[in-house]
Amino acid sequence: MALQTLEFEFQDAAPKTIEKEWSHLGVTGSGDLEVLMEKKDLAGKVKVKVVTPVIGFDTVWQKMLQKFVSDCHVGNVSIEINDDNATPIVVYMRLRQALAEANEKGAEK
């Protein structure tokens, strides 16, 4: 039982990148996760890398991430997630929070 890495790619019809060069949110606590978002020229795509100890939920990750990308119209962003058994709704909430943090005005990193 080793950690597994999942990689996904999404393309939204009207993608918008983030304000900051990069942004971080959350802690890999039990039932929680951390998100690192980085502005990158990916021809409008979103690349997601998930590192998780949970096995067998690849489709759920795919669906949740797809929902996030379509709901928020994200593009040209690389997302890295360290997960420790977060439920899908926690994943969605943290992604929305991370996006808000990444678009926060003023405090440019």
Which residues are at the interface with another protein (CB under 8 A)? 1-3, 22, 24, 27-30, 32, 34, 36, 38, 51-53, 80, 82-85, 101, 104, 107
Q: Which is nearer to another protein, 58 or 84 (CB)?
A: 84
Which helix (H) or strand (E) segment holds residue 71: the answer is: helix 58-72
User: What gap in Å lies between CA 109 and CA 3, rounded to an integer?
Assistant: 30
Q: Which is nearer to another protein, 44 or 85 (CB)?
A: 85
Asked if 15 and 71 count as a contact pair (C-beta separation under 8 A), the reply is no
Q: Which is nearer to another protein, 34 or 65 (CB)?
A: 34
CB of 57 to another protein, least distance (A): 14
Helix, strand or coil for residue 87?
A: coil
CB of 75 to another protein, least distance (A): 21
Q: Which is nearer to another protein, 34 or 76 (CB)?
A: 34
Query: What are residue 108's phi and psi, to 5 degrees?
Result: -75, 130
User: What gap in Å lies between CA 13 and CA 24, rounded to an integer?
Assistant: 25
The β-bridge partners of 24 are: 36
